[in-house]
Each structure stands twice: as C-alpha cells, then as structure tokens.
Amino acid sequence: MKYFPSRKKKEPPIMIREESSEYSPNKCVLRDDENNVWLYHANCIEFMDMLIGKYPNGKFDMIFADPPYFLSNGGITCHNGKMVKVDKGEWDKSSGPKLNHEFNLSWLSRSQKILNPNGTIWVSGTHHVIHSVGYAMQQLGMKILNDITWEKPNPPPNLSCRYFTHATETIIWAAKNEKSKHCFNYEKMREINAGKQMKSVWSFKTPNGDEKTFGKHPTQKPVALLERIIVASTNEDDLIYDPFSGSSTTGVAAINTLRKFVGTELELDFIGLSISRLKRAVATRQTSLNFAISEVM
C-alpha cells in the first residue's frame, strides 16, 4: 500500500510533567515536534491519568492497543523449527482471570476517556484475553463496531498435536460510546479490495525480516496490518495513541500513512528498538517528501 507525502500541520506537543514513580520513569525518550512523533518510557495507566486531567474532552482520534495476552505460564510453541517455552516476560504472566479482567477494565476505561467524542479504539488479542476485552468494552458503554479476524498464512505448528493450529488473532474495533459518529473510510477499503466490500477476515503474514532489522518483539504486528487499520478509521493528520507500544509498529504505520503518533512503552528492552524504527520511518518519509517536491519544482 503506497501513500503519497504531503505538507502536514504541526500538532501541539503532547507533553506531560515528567515524574517518575515506583512503577515507571514516565519520561519522554523521543520527541519530534516537526514530524509529530512522541514516545514515552512510561506506564500507560499513569500516563493516561495525566492526560485525562489535561484533556478532559479527549485528545486522540484513534487508539490501537496490543495488551498482554497473559500467555507466559509454562506453555510451549515452535520457533524456527524448535520447541521453545512461551515466556515473553513478566509483563505477560497471568494473575488469574479476575485480576486480568480488572487490568483490562483499568486501561480501557482510561483509553475511553482520552478518545475524542468520535474516536475509536482497536484491540488485538488471542482467545486468552480478547473475550475479557470485549466484555470490558460493553461494561464501559463502548459501541463495538466489528471484530476482525486476522488470519496468519504462516502460523507455527501445534507441537502437542492435541489442538488445532492457532492461526488467527481477533481485533475488536469499538467507538467511544453509542453516540459516537465514527470515521470509516469505506470507499478506500473498497478500492484496495478490488472494488468489493471488504470483509472482516484479513490475511497478513507475520512480520518479515526487514521489519525486524533492529530487533524483534515477541508479539510484533505486521506494518501492513496497522496501515489498513489506520487508513480505515482515521484521516490524514489525525492523532493516534498506542498504550502498549512494544516495537512501535503502530508508530511506523502512522508515519507511513501521514498521521501523528504518541506511544508509551514500559519495558526498557523495547525502547531502543522503537526509537530506531521510528527514526527510520521518519527519514524514509522525509526522503519521499523531498523527492515529491522536487518533481513539481
């Protein structure tokens, strides 16, 4: 999917009072006001609490969230043809269904408050977490618009041979509330789907080698998947937030599609990876912009 660069208006900086806590440094680690890209090494709960006070009427046009799936509890999977433990880190360990659901309610309620009145949120997950997310959305009065099935043509095999091979993830798309008049670029989706209405089953391969040039994240999403989500539900210059930024695929896709991005990531291991990817995306876009300008001069 190709996007042609254009001159963009500047967004006022998304800045918070940088106060560390016992849970997080809450520090801006990448600030690019010229290209409207901000990344914070921060706990998303604390970060969103700060924004709620600063923007009581909401701030973001879209949120994409890929929260912990609570998978790292001794299971196994296949990686590069070898059996490995499912151990993504402490952040992915389950605390039991009750506490897991309370966590989902906590971050979703804050996400809802920082959305603009007509804003929407997309949340990705496997069966381990997505049903809790959907229920929490209903508890909060969000309007569920669609559930997208992301089908992976190249999933790892099921080594136990006791289950079907896990080949999909679900992505729930919801509006802030029942009164929201959400953005849906129907004609654009139809255009990229060969003139036909786009269905809710999407096929994308998992991230390739180029997307992992600077390293990898265990739940990294393909850039093409995020580009479709962003183009479907936002307009150029809209502001997007990712509370669990990870390797900042959402940010890369936002830069590629001429949107603005704010991300928070708590795990220090992924901060450097995110910064490298975001800087490369900005440089690539700037090169394209300069080339386009030179063509018309």
2-34 pLDDT, tens digit per residue, is 555 555 566 666 777 778 888 889 999 999 999
Structural domains of the chain, ranges and CATH numbers in brackets: 27-296 (3.40.50.150)
* Segment 196-217, tens digit of pLDDT: 999 999 999 999 889 999 888 8
pLDDT value at residue 186: 98
Q: Is the pLDDT of residue 1 over 60?
A: no
pTM: 0.88
Give CA–CA dist 242/41, Å, rounded. Answer: 12
Q: Confidence class of residue 83 from pLDDT cuts 50, 70 and 90? A: very low
* Segment 246-295, tens digit of pLDDT: 999 999 999 999 999 999 999 999 999 999 999 999 999 988 766 554 44
* Segment 230-245, tens digit of pLDDT: 999 999 999 999 999 9
pLDDT value at residue 293: 45
More confident residue, 78 or 36: 36
Give CA–CA dist 276/89, Å, rounded. Answer: 22
Q: Is the pLDDT of residue 297 over 50?
A: no
Q: 239 exposed, middle or buried (CB, 10 Å; 0-12, 13-18, 19+)?
A: buried
Q: Is the pLDDT of residue 228 over 60?
A: yes
Q: Shortest CA distance to 46 belongs to which of 67, 16, 7? A: 16
pLDDT value at residue 156: 82
